[in-house]
């Protein structure tokens, strides 16, 4: 079946977090795609609703098997069904893990720039953030293992949240990098929470490596958060899983998720998840090709029309990480200027830690016509911003 990703869906006035903006504004910030959901998923949801009763749901073995089969066939990693625990979302799971696996006042390490809600999950639960910056050479990101070991050696650091693939840069960590993280965390008795929600959104020909698959050490010290929601554009379904091979860690997570009341599915979560993993591969492969073409369009457009912005190379996600350091010291000011000037709504890099202060994040998971509108607005705004600075 051929899917139409050029189709524009009008999401205004639908209580959409992304699209609840002014009429003249174009939101390209939150990680939410503007594409029609794969037909098999929609059919599974409709079939469930046609029962006519909206009571409590259970988690059947078919849900576990859907995850097991997908990770075996798609990522060459054998998950055992009993390793999986249902949860309503990756963020609720991370917050539960922070509460269960650390104590108030302890430190949680994150490698910045990184997904902004990691900060919230740590700070809102009375723990302290340790920003361990990635290396950035002006072109690409890599792990700073010397700094990472120094930060992990602090006895107060008891948990690390790993973003794999990396958000916002779209970097895919290598087997060696993940192995090294596992060895260092084991050395200093630090548990790893691996957020792998973007794992299926790789460029064609690129592969992500599950952290838990790299070594026995990585497997035994980790809790992996996974979901179909980002991949298949069903974030509102609220369906995810934690995958925990270690029996002791898994029991602790199971207890905490249930205590926090985030371990029970809503009426469509199970059916949508099973349908996505069983029948969504064709849709996903076409989506990955489309987003890859969007990336190439953006690369060419920026090189030709907005050369002051450097687009960091990305092998995963539909999020662009834009280096504006050649003309901007404060991306918060820049983001607000762009939104006021052209209506284009992006994410300011400062949300992702101090290392993101001179960056913007742009969501390009949209029809090509919408993307071109966004790029033209960006060009107009950047020209005006630079001119305003020059005139000061």
Residue 122 and residue 100: Cα distance in Å, rounded?
A: 12
Q: Is the pLDDT at 239 greater than 90, yes or no?
A: yes
Q: Which two tokens stand for residue 117?
A: 């809600």
Please count the other Cβ atoms lying within 10 Å of the Cβ belonging to residue 188: 16
In order of their start, the domains of the chain are 26-37+281-391 (3.90.1150.10), 41-279 (3.40.640.10)
- pLDDT the model gives residue 389: 79
Q: Which two tokens stand for residue 112?
A: 């910045």
- pLDDT the model gives residue 44: 98
Is the distance from CB of 213 to CB of 74 less than 8 angstroms? no
257-285 average pLDDT score = 98
Q: How confident is the model at residue 224 (pLDDT cuts 50, 70, 90)?
A: very high
Q: What percent of the chain has pLDDT over 70?
A: 99
Residue 279 and residue 283: Cα distance in Å, rounded?
A: 8
Residue 271 and residue 63: Cα distance in Å, rounded?
A: 8
Average model confidence (pLDDT) for the chain?
97
- pLDDT the model gives residue 392: 61
CA dihedral 336, 316, 296, 345 (to 10 degrees): -20
Question: What global pTM score does this model have?
Answer: 0.97
């Amino acid at each position: 079946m051929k899917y139409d990703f050029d189709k524009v869906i009008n999401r205004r006035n639908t209580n959409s977090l992304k699209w609840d903006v002014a009429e003249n504004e174009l939101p390209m910030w939150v990680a939410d795609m503007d594409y029609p959901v794969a037909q098999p998923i929609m059919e599974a949801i409709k079939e469930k609703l046609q029962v006519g009763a909206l009571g409590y749901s259970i988690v059947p073995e078919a849900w576990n098997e859907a995850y097991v089969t997908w990770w075996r066939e798609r990522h060459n990693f054998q998950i055992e069904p009993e390793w999986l625990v249902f949860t309503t979302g990756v963020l609720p799971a991370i917050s539960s893990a922070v509460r269960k696996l650390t104590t108030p006042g302890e430190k949680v390490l994150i490698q910045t720039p990184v997904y902004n809600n990691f900060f919230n999950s740590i700070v809102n639960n009375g723990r302290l953030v340790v920003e361990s910056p990635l290396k950035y050479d002006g072109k690409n990101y890599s792990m700073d293992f010397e700094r990472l070991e120094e930060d992990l050696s602090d006895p107060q650091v008891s948990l690390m949240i790993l973003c794999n693939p990396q958000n916002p840069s779209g970097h895919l960590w290598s087997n060696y990098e993940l192995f090294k993280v596992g060895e260092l965390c084991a050395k200093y008795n630090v548990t790893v929470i691996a957020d792998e929600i973007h794992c299926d959104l790789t460029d064609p020909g690129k592969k992500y490596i599950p952290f838990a698959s790299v070594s026995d050490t990585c497997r035994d010290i980790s809790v992996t958060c996974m979901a179909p929601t980002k991949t298949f554009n069903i974030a509102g379904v609220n369906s995810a899983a934690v995958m925990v091979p270690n029996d002791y860690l898994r029991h602790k997570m199971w207890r905490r998720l249930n205590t926090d009341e985030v371990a029970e599915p809503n009426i469509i979560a199970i059916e949508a998840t099973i349908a996505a993993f069983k029948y969504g591969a064709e849709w996903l492969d076409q989506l990955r090709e489309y987003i890859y073409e969007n990336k190439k369009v953006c690369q060419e457009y920026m090189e030709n029309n907005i050369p002051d912005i450097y687009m960091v190379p990305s092998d995963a996600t539909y999020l662009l990480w834009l280096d504006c350091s050649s003309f901007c010291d404060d991306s918060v000011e820049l983001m607000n200027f762009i939104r006021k000037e052209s209506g284009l709504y992006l994410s300011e890099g400062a949300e992702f830690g101090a290392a993101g202060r001179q960056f913007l994040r742009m969501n390009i998971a949209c029809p090509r016509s919408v993307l071109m509108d966004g790029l033209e607005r960006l060009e107009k705004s950047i020209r005006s911003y630079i001119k305003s600075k020059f005139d000061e």
